[in-house]
Amino acid sequence: MSRRLEGKHALITGASSGIGKCIASQLAEMGANVTVVARRKDRLEKLADELKSKHQVAASVVAQDLAEDDAAQKIWDRCQSPLDIVVNNAGFGTLSPFSSQSEDGIAALIAVNISALTELSHHFVTERIRRGEGGYLLQVASIAAFQSNPYFAVYGAAKAYVCRFSEALDFELKGTDISSTCLCPGATRTEFVEHAGVDVSAVPAIGRATFMSAEKTAAIGIKAMLKRKRLVVAGAPNKFAAFGNRFVPSTITTALASKMMGGRKNNSSKPI
């Protein structure tokens, strides 16, 4: 791999596992110095040590819960040098009926998937414009952004926000050397599925067959970001699903999304 990012500085959220860890590793392999962010400090420190010795780059760690107030500001204040690349990858979902989720859990999901991403994007874009310098934003959404997602309602809506926000921001940035690329992964083999409470055995075989590796998803996102593409859906089956959704009534895509996530019986309630 060429070291085309030698001397550049990239910040990657959610780098303690999965897609974010792979993005950090691949950017470091391309020569970028990295700052990795997540809550699990031990994992971040291990990754930073590995990247320093394997790729001769600088690697620093910011252990931060993105659900905390002012998380984005705290991360920004701790970055030691100007950033050329920000990857807003941290995210999680909870597969369960909306009515059974706690208010704190919903607030944390919105804070991590939406608020922190928006605030870090704002810090980055305003600083790059002030400096008169270019840069890259990579926003990790999901193919959940392309339809309504029963039992994943807040997560899916949050990813639709990421997608619409990133596309609009990229349009606004025309004429600058700053871009915002939205990566929409489909099912990817990471810890996400387990943390979300998805029973993979209940997912139809056709859905299980589309699972991708985190390495491949990360590589697709980085390639699109460096080409300043506005949107990339990872993998042919996911592209087909995202594109096909445009021609199918939402009653059908919503029912299909529920089935693909293993479906669930709703909470019972008395009629009013």
Interface residue with ligand NAP, options 11, 19, 86, 160 (CB under 6 A):
19
CA 34 – CA 62 distance, rounded (Å): 11
Residue 216 in contact with ligand NAP, rule: CB under 6 A: no
Could you tell me the smallest distance in angstroms from the CB atom of residue 184 to ligand NAP? 7
Question: Which CB atom, from 189 or from 264, has the smaller least distance to ligand NAP?
Answer: 189
Residue with tokens 């008169």: 132
Q: At what angle do helices 103-110 and 153-172 cross, to 10 degrees?
A: 20
Q: Which amino acid is at 197?
A: G
- Compute how many residues bind ligand NAP; rule: CB under 6 A: 30
Residue 92 in contact with ligand NAP, rule: CB under 6 A: yes
Contact 182, 232 (CB under 8 A): yes
Interface residue with ligand NAP, options 12, 83, 90, 154 (CB under 6 A):
90
Residue 253 in contact with ligand NAP, rule: CB under 6 A: no
Looking at the DSSP bridge assignments, the partners of residue 12 are 36, 87
Write the DSSP symbol of residue 100. G
Q: What are phi and psi of 224, to 5 degrees?
A: -65, -40
Q: What part of residues 52-71 is at the interface with ligand NAP (CB under 6 A)? A: 65-67
Residue 89 in contact with ligand NAP, rule: CB under 6 A: yes
Residue 149 in contact with ligand NAP, rule: CB under 6 A: no
CB atoms within 10 A of CB 205: 6
Could you tell me the smallest distance in angstroms from the CB atom of residue 25 to ligand NAP? 13
Question: Which CB atom, from 176 or from 258, has the smaller least distance to ligand NAP?
Answer: 258
Q: Helix H segments across 30-172?
A: 41-55, 71-78, 103-110, 116-131, 153-172
Q: What are phi and psi of 187, to 5 degrees?
A: -60, 125
Residue 195 in contact with ligand NAP, rule: CB under 6 A: yes
Q: Which positions are catalytic?
A: 155
Span interacting with ligand NAP, options 14-22, 46-54, 124-132, 264-272, rule CB under 6 A: 14-22
Q: Structure tokens of 56?
A: 């001769």
**Using CB under 6 A as the criterion, which residues of the chain lie in contact with ligand NAP when the complex forms?**
14-20, 38-40, 65-67, 89-93, 112, 140, 142, 185, 187-188, 190-193, 195, 214
